Amino acid sequence: MTTYNDCIFFTIAGSSGKFSAGPQNIPDFIGGTFSDVEVLDPLPGVGEGKRLTGGNGVTENIIRHAHSALLTVCEENPTKRVFVVTSSYGGRVASHLLAGKAERKPKDDLSRYFVPDDLPPFSAPNFRGVISFGYPLCLDKNQGRETILQDLENSRIFFVAGSKDPMIKGLADVAAKMQATNSNHVLYQMIPSGGHNPLKATASKKRKANDDGDDETSSEDDSITNLQTKLTTFLNES
């Protein structure tokens, strides 16, 4: 078993406040162990147990909070490699963090993206990239979310998506465009039959297949094997 004692996973959950897929799964996938997991706290003043919500977009307050929290983790652990691992809306927070841009209303106005004063795109010597589960691109809603991803030319990001997830429509094409200019830093893995949590549906289907005595999961097994390989590469090449 490979031991990743020099890794920290800084997690940003989805708008439900729950981390349905992510760091707790990764050690099992790649057969490794990790030293620590940091979790992004709720916004100051929101209160314990409250959630980060995507209703108002990725606002300046959220970006500033995420930037401060992640920078603290990196600075307090200078010998560790720090990865951000996200679920759903957390992926949007991470991409805006790396782009150094926030959102303002109205949501249908593409000029809503702006650069907050004195808040550059996030960087730290030991920051190594983002692993994003169920990135909610929602391309069919014409919200312009792909424009932020196009700003991440020099960022390391690994998208994990479920084929049944309507929120990732267009993500494969956007990832391919990112790979064209940043081939060594952008990875994409589709999980057949996966939903917005790309891993949960696969696990459920496997249990049902086992209960029925069927073996209909070869494509899912292949995709999980590919995910294991890509995750190992993503972590080891950082």
Query: Given CA atoms 139, 142, 145, 148 in this order, what sign does their dihedral have?
Result: positive
**pLDDT at residue 24 in the model:** 54
Omega within 30 of 0 (cis) for the link into 106: yes
Residue 34 has pLDDT above 70, yes or no: no
Q: What is the pLDDT of residues 107-122, one digit of tens each?
A: 555 567 888 888 999 9
Answer with the residue of higher pLDDT: 156 or 106: 156
- The whole-model pTM stands at 0.83
Average pLDDT, whole number, for the chain? 77
Q: Where are the domains of the chain?
A: 2-236
Q: Are 54 and 63 in contact (CB under 8 A)?
A: no
Q: What is the pLDDT of residues 9-19, one digit of tens each?
A: 888 877 765 55
Domain range 2-236, CATH architecture? 3-Layer(aba) Sandwich (3.40)
**pLDDT at residue 223 in the model:** 80
What is the rounded distance in angstroms from the CA atom of residue 103 to the CA atom of residue 182?
25
What is the rounded distance in angstroms from the CA atom of residue 172 to the CA atom of residue 175?
5
**pLDDT at residue 45 in the model:** 45
What is the rounded distance in angstroms from the CA atom of residue 122 to the CA atom of residue 117?
14
Region 219-223: mean pLDDT is: 75
What is the rounded distance in angstroms from the CA atom of residue 208 to the CA atom of residue 210?
5
Residue with tokens 């990135």: 135
Q: Are 51 and 16 in contact (CB under 8 A)?
A: yes
Q: What is the pLDDT of residues 128-166, one digit of tens each?
A: 999 998 898 887 666 678 888 888 877 899 999 888 888
Q: Are 198 and 160 in contact (CB under 8 A)?
A: yes
Residue with tokens 């401060």: 68
Q: What is the pLDDT of residues 47-79, one digit of tens each?
A: 444 555 666 678 888 888 889 989 998 999 999
Give how far the C-alpha of residue 166 lies from the chain's centroid of Cα atoms, to the nearest Å: 17
